[in-house]
Structure 1
Amino acid sequence: MNRPLFTFRRRRSVNSDAVLGRERRCRTICACIGFGLMIFTLSACVKPEVVVPPGPPEEGFLLGPEDVLDIVVWRNPDLSRQVVIRPDGKISLPLIGDVQASGLTADQLAKNIAEKYRQYKENPVVSVGVLEVNSYYVFVVGEVNTPGKLQLKSYTTVLQALALAGGFTQFASRNDIQVIRHMVDGDGKTKELRIPLRYKDLISEDGAQYNLVLRRGDTIVVP
């Protein structure tokens, strides 16, 4: 009578151990899956970090090729004239020849011209006016209705550029936008900066911090 009872209890113990083992494995697997889902959810909620200031350049509008300038040297009409910045970024003026204009503000250019004229004139007063802005342009490529080059006349944000490009197509990945910007570092080398943006961030209540003001030559990519 004891053997059957003993045998029965032993089998029950073995079966219980197996069940407990399966339960532990299931709990471990479920915990791993739950942790993975939590990480995925959190990563999906993290907003792309904006790595550049969203506003216009602090130094002001920088001149570029094809901009039309009005150079006035006070009391020297023979030295005053309208000029177009050449593709090499320079302008030509009487007496002083070529002067670098691209990459400078109008005030900076006026100071440089005045400094060069000092060897010919006493205390020259120079002003530079911008008659036409032709150097401010960006590109919008990918899933927009009118991709291509946008010629701009005033500071333009990402949202404004997307609107000018006709908005998204039905296939656009609106939350995978990138702005590609080429910048010159302290060593004079050009580096490519890629700025990730999401449309839902751009139109959110705090969208101003993501809605970048575009710079000359920026490319908006909508995959």
Structure 2
Amino acid sequence: MLSIDVGTETQMELMARVAAFAVSAAVKYIEKGVCMRIRNTISRCGVAAYFLSGMLGIPAAFLSSPARAEFLLGAGDVVEVSVAGIPALATRATIDLDGKVTLPIVGNISASGISIDALRGRVQAEYSKRAVSLREPDGRTTITPVSPEEVTVNVAQYRPVYISGDLARVGEVAFRPGLTVRQAVAVAGGYDVVRFRINNPYMDAIDFKAQETSLLDELKQEEEKKKYLQAELDRLPEKINLDEEVKVTSPPQPQNSGSLISEQIRAQTDDYEREISHLRGAFKQLAMRASLLDEQKSREEEGSLADNQEFERAKALLEKGTTSTQRVTDARRAMLLSATRALQTGAEASQVRMALDEMSRTLQRRHDERRIRLLTELQESRTKFVRLQAQLAAARQKLGLVGGMKSMWSNGRTGEPEIVVYRNANGKEEKFVGSEATPLVPGDVVEVALHVD
């Protein structure tokens, strides 16, 4: 039984070595006369397949893998047609989406899905059926037949190969006969090792550790802010009692009194206390003025009542003839003057009372705004605190997973690239695993992925 050491060779390299060995063995056997019985059954192109299938147990169909498929024309390929001695018939034509090319004289010819030899035969057959009318330099017109040997058909430009994956550049690669995956990767700038190393667990561990540290610091600040806001909210009463003397208490001191959050909240609290103190001072002055006006109004009302009584006595004396008209007139004037002063004082007292009520509402509104703001900030702080806890737990979980990958990464290495080729053969897409030595045909799509062993 024949034995061959395959080692770490790729599938294509193994097939090439086995085929060469089989052909060499076949020649030796035939030269010695051992294979005379099968000489009539083995064609010149089938010797390798016969020995591979008979001696190695490999089916002959295996040799016709997609990597060895014959190149077939397709939409996008450009063919060049010329006729010897007739430069006017030289042309380049692109195979359209319908799989046809348009040539002078013969018109449309189907070209997709066949080899260049098959297309050459079709074009030669079409031109050989026709005679070409040529104008000589002297003005005469001659009819010249075209023989098949005079017609030349070649591929002027192939469809590109498309390559993607862990590469420096992805996209189209111009096809040249004999192009392999290794050559296409080289044209694309080689493997993108930088992109591949982004998944290095050591680098990920550094990123996740920095994220954990940042989240911890932010979580502590948010916890401090939450406690400070709650303490400030508990210190404020729901309603302001304007009848009681204001007792301003110092705001609670946070654990880290020098932090930016504590300074910000302390500044807001000081601003609120100053505004409330100013409003309370204005309210107190208005209350004192209202009290004075009320006392003045009461005295003027008493004086107006006394002047009214004096006027009534003067009128009674005048009726008895015991007093003069001048006294009655003076009493009436004094009564009207005191009544006017009482009305003016009453109006001014009413205005002060209205201003006092407005000041009371302003104080209560400012107090309520402060409480609402503290409640809103406290709710936002609690929500952010919960979100930071979840993010911190996720970062620690990532650190745990990455830590388990460090030993695997330390012992691992970048293995052979995983190469998958997609090929359109006779209208059907085929997918097979290739290697760097896999030959490509126009229109192939190659995907490259790097892995760690």
What TM-score, normalized by structure 1, do the two folds share?
Answer: 0.56
The amino acid of 1:84's aligned partner reads: A
The residue number in structure 1 matching 2:416 is: 175
Q: Residue 154 of structure 2: which of 121, 124, 130 is its match?
A: 130
The amino acid of 2:152's aligned partner reads: V
Aligned 8 A contact 2:128 2:146 in 1: yes
Q: Structure 1 residue 99: deviation in Å? A: 0.8
The residue number in structure 2 matching 1:28 is: none
Structure with higher helix content: 2
Structure 2 counterparts to residues 1-223 of structure 1, below 5 A? 49=11, 59=70, 62-74=72-84, 76-77=86-87, 80-88=89-97, 89-121=99-131, 124-125=147-148, 126-130=150-154, 132-135=156-159, 137-170=160-193, 171=196, 174-184=415-425, 190-197=428-435, 202=436, 211-223=437-449
Distance in structure 1 (CA, Å) of the matches to 2:93 and 2:154: 10
What's the C-alpha RMSD, in Å, of the aligned pairs? 3.5
> How big is each residue's C-alpha offset from its partner over 1:194-218, in whole Å with a ceiling of 9 and x where there is no partner?
2154xxxx5xxxxxxxx11111222
Count residues with an aligned counterpart: 161
Aligned 8 A contact 1:178 1:220 in 2: yes
> How big is each residue's C-alpha offset from its partner over 1:132-183, in whole Å with a ceiling of 9 and x where there is no partner?
3242x21221111111111123321111111111111221765341222224
Distance in structure 2 (CA, Å) of the matches to 1:176 and 1:55: 19
The amino acid of 1:113's aligned partner reads: V
Percent identity of equivalent pairs: 24
Give the direction of change, closer, same or farther, for the CA distance of 1:67–1:174 in structure 2 (3 Å limit): same
> How big is each residue's C-alpha offset from its partner over 1:91-138, in whole Å with a ceiling of 9 and x where there is no partner?
222332101234444443222122223433466224224373242x21
Quick check: 96-105 or 138-147, which moved more?
Answer: 96-105
Give the direction of change, closer, same or farther, for the CA distance of 1:163–1:55 in structure 2 (3 Å limit): farther
> How big is each residue's C-alpha offset from its partner over 1:79-102, in whole Å with a ceiling of 9 and x where there is no partner?
x22122232332222332101234
Give the direction of change, closer, same or farther, for the CA distance of 1:217–1:68 in structure 2 (3 Å limit): closer
The amino acid of 1:128's aligned partner reads: T
Determine helix, strand or coil for the equivalent of 1:191: strand
For the pair shown, which has the larger CA radius of gyration, 1 or 2?
Answer: 2
> How big is each residue's C-alpha offset from its partner over 1:49-101, in whole Å with a ceiling of 9 and x where there is no partner?
55666898575x544444444323345555x2212223233222233210123
Distance in structure 1 (CA, Å) of the matches to 2:114 and 2:152: 11
Aligned 8 A contact 1:67 1:130 in 2: no
Give the direction of change, closer, same or farther, for the CA distance of 1:174–1:150 in structure 2 (3 Å limit): farther
The amino acid of 1:191's aligned partner reads: E
Structure with higher strand content: 1
The amino acid of 2:439's aligned partner reads: V
Aligned 8 A contact 2:420 2:448 in 1: no
What TM-score, normalized by structure 2, do the two folds share?
Answer: 0.30
Q: Which blocks of at least 5 consecutive residues in structure 1 are unaligned?
A: 1-44, 203-210
The residue number in structure 2 matching 1:11 is: none
